[in-house]
Structure 1
């Protein structure tokens, strides 16, 4: 009798567990959701991410990037946003980003970059602050569960105190659910996303269980830490053995901390049904320009890394399958992207800050206008960007001038020819960006030095 009661109790427990699992699955199936190691759409079809990241927060005018990324076969784009560490992306901007993703039949992973390197990088936000940002955007995120994934915070801990990641991540998930978010949540690893101390790997189960909807996917960033096939396969296998969902949220073919084994990363992701997102479309700098997949946001200028990611073995073009939510919708043709300059700091571990007070120039109806912005600044040095916009008529060339008041000097420039006479600066277009249609714009960038002050000068633009 005692054995029968034990067996009956076990059967009842198994039934309750099954019902609970089905209830949790039903709760999560509002849109994109996880089931075991897989990501599923609301209709139950598996969705495997294949795509790249786009640094929207620093290049908000590069909206054609969404169509261009789609044109190379991607089914997902990871979009860099900021809640205030850099110029904040407001609700209206985020709503437009979501619309661009949907227009181009892409699943949109929205990530808050403010948390990058917390505890090690000055100015980094906490995961709690990241949640505040998402809560402020709830009005434009609700109802988009079929189309977007919320990546709560990019690389939320550096190498200082990464053990704090576990409790901070659980708290962030709890607050997101308490605020009513039904979305698939993505959480990045500590150690600048690379989890070389295995904090995420060893605590993933408890973090997953802390989500009342059981709808969280883990994201590993694979750079120099993952420079051998054994390290790549070992990490992926650990999550599959645990029955937990994992995506490769960032990876490259080179990096300053070592040489990632991108061939194994991509082949193993394909054989295991694991999503991957390369870093990044364009705009890298600060020594990691090699991570650009296209030059100056031009889809027709794939770099060697871009060729490898999109067109190589196990690459995006040959392995990506579009989300079924878009079945029956017509494709959107890509549009040409304007020229833009690489940003020295839009890298996996450092990103540019944008000046809150750019200096615009007046623009006549048939002339041009220019806006000067300090995009990043550090001790003794800075990066600047000038955007030139044609007036109501097309122009064939432009000249921008300004005078520094604080002794600044330009040391390097791209997408323009610059001459100086003391503190007076003259910048002229180069061969490929002088002709602008009515209302069209282009930009050029530069590095400079400063000492004591770095005021934003007034600029003027003359068209030819």
Structure 2
């Protein structure tokens, strides 16, 4: 039975505050499963990528056969729902649960479910109460670090922004209390806002929480449901953790939900491409209107639902991508063989703002999981930076500058995180773009009554004689306004503390024919007044105001 999720439709005022943490003890040496950069590795250094399902054990304690059934369908991980005693349980059979995981050769992610939606769900437990529960079960857990991950508390905050803003301090304190009490396990920290972090609280504070773990052994868990219904939103979240150099897993996701239609295909493909773990919700026993999230009917592994078929047997699914932990004698990449070097990229479909790259595929003993694409500006010199993690040996670069030379190279990665040598460099020059004055922008806003939120509708028109193939609209807010993602019709970027905003085309409106236009928009917040934006550029050229 999955707890509800509510996606807030009102805008949330940014909460600015400083968090003071207790001094962090000296770092100890983690044993068993641990973090290495952005990866999870086992004690022997082999990469471990979670592929599994959640099992609602606290509500179905008699379904002990589910552990073996989940394993039989290819999983290497099971996330086990336990109760800490505030709402369910307490689950006192933890030693037996760990034994069932080990008998089925599964890595055991144990989570305390009572924390779900704290601050919005009145009966929810605090993270501190969850830690008290884990301490009560210490004898069943210490010594199991090779097999057990401690997921402190499920979705520990709801959509109350002011409460969710305490996620960083509450999570840091919980981790430090576990460490002080002798837990050296890999710890998993769930995001706030019913796990979906639509306000970016975990994304923006994960580095601080990680630094406050004395063992530096925390992996962050995002739950992807209706908030993540586009590839752009999924990739942006994954990109943020990759850029920060922090470990991330998709701790829950589904193929459908009451708050929207998650893009499970992108979640699974990108997780596979990037070497990220994922755990689907859930094996069986869902109620409350989300029965469609059952992977099997009535705990019967022979009765896979459409969701079960998708996650176990579909593209980038569990059966095709899961590797058993080496602690059980499973796969990994013990010889650490790197993939072969990709072929030299070749460019095609070069426009003023985009180009498509293709290169010869790499090979590897355990299979290539993806390619890192690097780009620099200029025919010589310049610094290469990572711009994409492509799942296959093709990549379309967008938001390029007209009449500019770029250089690209790629490298391959495998499931163990080994990387190939760099390909030879490809150089291309983009075509001429629209000249100044070849665009017009209309900007209209509607303020929400009694609120500090607004909706902006923007219309971009190509007033030139040539088509615009790929575009980025740029502007600066004059009154300190903030865009509330995700918006529509474009991918929006606004750095923290900055007035500057960019809006980049999505697939369906990338081309603007002469005289053609597209309508985009977003929700935002403001304080005091909400002055209109009057100056815009499109691909670097100034536009007339409508």
Q: 1:182 offset after TM fit, Å?
A: 0.6
Q: 1:83 offset after TM fit, Å?
A: 1.2
Partner of 1:94: 94
Q: What per-residue deviation string (whole Å, max 9, x for no partner) do you get for residues 139-169 of structure 1?
A: 1100000000000000000011210111100
Partner of 2:247: 245
> Is the partner of 1:111 in helix, strand or coil?
strand
Q: 1:267 offset after TM fit, Å?
A: 0.1
Q: What per-residue deviation string (whole Å, max 9, x for no partner) do you get for residues 109-166 of structure 1?
A: 0000010000001210000000000000001100000000000000000011210111
The answer for unaligned runs of 5 or more in structure 1 is: 1-22, 330-464
Q: How far apart, in 2, do the equivalents of 1:307 and 1:87 lie?
A: 30
> Is the partner of 1:263 in helix, strand or coil?
helix
Partner of 1:304: 306
1:308-319 paired onto structure 2 within 5 Å:
308-319=310-321
Check conservation: 2:117, 2:157, Cα contact below 8 A.
yes
Cα 1:139–1:280, aligned 2, differ >3 Å: closer, same or farther?
same
Partner of 2:360: none
4+ aligned runs moved over 3 Å, structure 1: none
Q: How far apart, in 2, do the equivalents of 1:305 and 1:86 lie?
A: 29
Check conservation: 2:82, 2:90, Cα contact below 8 A.
yes
Partner of 1:104: 104
Q: Are 1:116 and 2:113 matched, yes or no? A: no
> Could you tell me the TM-score, scaled by structure 1's length?
0.65
Partner of 1:190: 192
> Is the partner of 1:51 in helix, strand or coil?
strand
Q: How far apart, in 1, do the equivalents of 2:115 and 2:159 lie?
A: 13
Partner of 2:46: 45
Partner of 1:6: none
Q: How far apart, in 2, do the equivalents of 1:87 and 1:234 lie?
A: 35
Q: 1:280 offset after TM fit, Å?
A: 0.2
Looking at both structures, which has the greater relative contact order when contacts are Cα pairs under 8 Å and sequence separation is at least 6? 1
Partner of 2:154: 154
Q: What per-residue deviation string (whole Å, max 9, x for no partner) do you get for residues 16-51 of structure 1?
A: xxxxxxx95x702x1000011000000000000000
> Could you tell me the TM-score, scaled by structure 2's length?
0.55
Cα 1:45–1:328, aligned 2, differ >3 Å: closer, same or farther?
closer
Check conservation: 2:198, 2:227, Cα contact below 8 A.
yes
Partner of 1:228: 230
> Is the partner of 1:249 in helix, strand or coil?
strand
Q: 1:328 offset after TM fit, Å?
A: 7.8
Partner of 2:211: 209
Q: Are 1:287 and 2:289 matched, yes or no? A: yes
Q: How far apart, in 1, do the equivalents of 2:322 and 2:191 lie?
A: 25
Q: How far apart, in 2, do the equivalents of 1:141 and 1:88 lie?
A: 18
Q: How far apart, in 2, do the equivalents of 1:48 and 1:297 lie?
A: 25
Partner of 1:269: 271
Q: How far apart, in 1, do the equivalents of 2:243 and 2:316 lie?
A: 23
Count of aligned positions: 304
Q: How far apart, in 2, do the equivalents of 1:167 and 1:89 lie?
A: 25
Partner of 1:438: none
Q: 1:215 offset after TM fit, Å?
A: 0.1
Instruction: Name whichever structure is richer in helix by fraction.
Output: 1
